[in-house]
Structure 1
Amino acid sequence: MNLPNKLTVARVVLVPFFIFFLLTDIVPLSSLWALVVFALASITDALDGHIARSRNLVTNFGKFLDPLADKVLVISALVCFVDMGLAGAVPVIIIIAREFMVSGLRLVTAGEGVVVAAGIWGKLKTAFTMVAIVVILLFAVIFGKDSSSYEMWVTAVEQTLIWISTALTVISGAIYLNGYKSYINTDK
């Protein structure tokens, strides 16, 4: 297994540790540990793609697992945020629905021998969402995990970040659907 694929696998392996630290209170500084683990996992996302492309180490395994690892990491954070009262269910459901839609589209096009590569809007959506999650985790470190103790402005910033992520998610999903609509022609 090459280095980019090892980094991608590491991102998946870090997810349970991230969830544990985010949802537990038995570990001192658990919010800080959750932030550190999420940040490390996010950095592997930037590194694995850069290394794979610059060293010509792109593999089918990496093409498959990299977007899946991103989805598992981001969706895990967002679902935990809903559980903690840090995000609403509606934007998170929209984000998850888009991820299922794009994954389904990738399956359909793969059957035709076509790989749906991540476009600029998908990359922007992922990058912004990961940064938004880091900011929300930083607020949890500073103000505590209990959203009821937050200042009103913190909640407003968090909700704004989540809704911007949702808007980018919808835009990128629409672009993917439009770009590959010939593969989902319902008349065939």
Structure 2
Amino acid sequence: MNLPNKLTLLRVLLIPFFLLFMYIKVPCHYGIALVIFAAASITDALDGKIARAKNLVTNFGKFLDPLADKVLVIAALAVFVDLPMVRMGAVPLIIITAREFMVSGLRLLAANSGVVVAAGIWGKLKTAFTMVAIIAILFWLFLFYDLGIGFPYEFMRAVEFILVPVLVWISTILTVISGAVYLKGYWHLIDSDK
């Protein structure tokens, strides 16, 4: 197994540890989850660059890399829905998950037609922004709930009721735009008569 594939596999293996530390109440558990998520995000940035630079692109990597990204992001957002202090409803999670299923279906249709669906600029922007937004939310949880840093009440309310929802909804909007771009670009592969 080459290095990019090992990095992708590492990202998959980090997901259960991320989930564990989001829920287990040990000292600085949000901080540990933040470090794990950030490390997994870094592997996402590295594996593709290394694979392309060193000509190490494999079918295994093409399959597992986007799957690892999707599971990592959906796992984090699902945990946020479960945390009352994050103020994230289920609607953004449903929209983001639906988009991921749709793009995965398009990739399958494309593969059956011998077409490779490369990640476009909107997909990359969506992934980067969503991961940064998740890291920002985890950092907030670490500062306030792990370290107990006191913030003025108005600041805390602004973060919980304005900043976090804005980050989540920007991610959701970018997700919808990137999904629409994929759908438009590969609509010709969808044949309702077959």
Question: Could you say whether these structures have the same fold, taking a TM-score greater than 0.5 normalized by the shorter chain as the test?
Answer: yes
Q: Partner residue of 1:62?
A: 61
Q: Partner residue of 1:99?
A: 100
Alignment of 1:113-132 (within 5 A): 113-132=114-133
* Number of aligned residues: 184
Equivalent-residue separation in structure 2 for 1:139 and 1:44 (angstroms): 23
Tell me by how many angstroms 1:118 deviates.
0.8
Tell me by how many angstroms 1:142 deviates.
1.0
Q: Partner residue of 1:175?
A: 181
Tell me by how many angstroms 1:93 deviates.
0.6
Tell me by how many angstroms 1:108 deviates.
1.2
Q: Partner residue of 1:23?
A: 23
Equivalent-residue separation in structure 2 for 1:28 and 1:144 (angstroms): 10
Q: Partner residue of 1:8?
A: 8
Q: Partner residue of 2:172?
A: 166
In structure 1, runs of 5+ residues without a counterpart are none
Equivalent-residue separation in structure 1 for 2:97 and 2:23 (angstroms): 20
Letter in 2 for 1:179: G
Equivalent-residue separation in structure 1 for 2:76 and 2:58 (angstroms): 27
Equivalent-residue separation in structure 2 for 1:166 and 1:88 (angstroms): 12
Taking structure 2 as the reference length, the TM-score comes to 0.92
Determine helix, strand or coil for the equivalent of 1:5.
helix
Tell me by how many angstroms 1:75 deviates.
0.3
Tell me by how many angstroms 1:185 deviates.
2.6
The alignment yields a C-alpha RMSD, in angstroms, of 1.3
Determine helix, strand or coil for the equivalent of 1:118.
coil
Q: Which moved more, 1:111-120 or 1:9-18?
A: 111-120
Equivalent-residue separation in structure 1 for 2:129 and 2:93 (angstroms): 15
> Runs (4+) of structure 1 moved beyond 2 Å?
none
Mapped pair 1:136 → 2:137: yes
- Structure 1 residues 2-23: Cα deviation after superposition (integer angstroms, max 9, x where no partner): 0000000000000000000011
Tell me by how many angstroms 1:187 deviates.
3.8
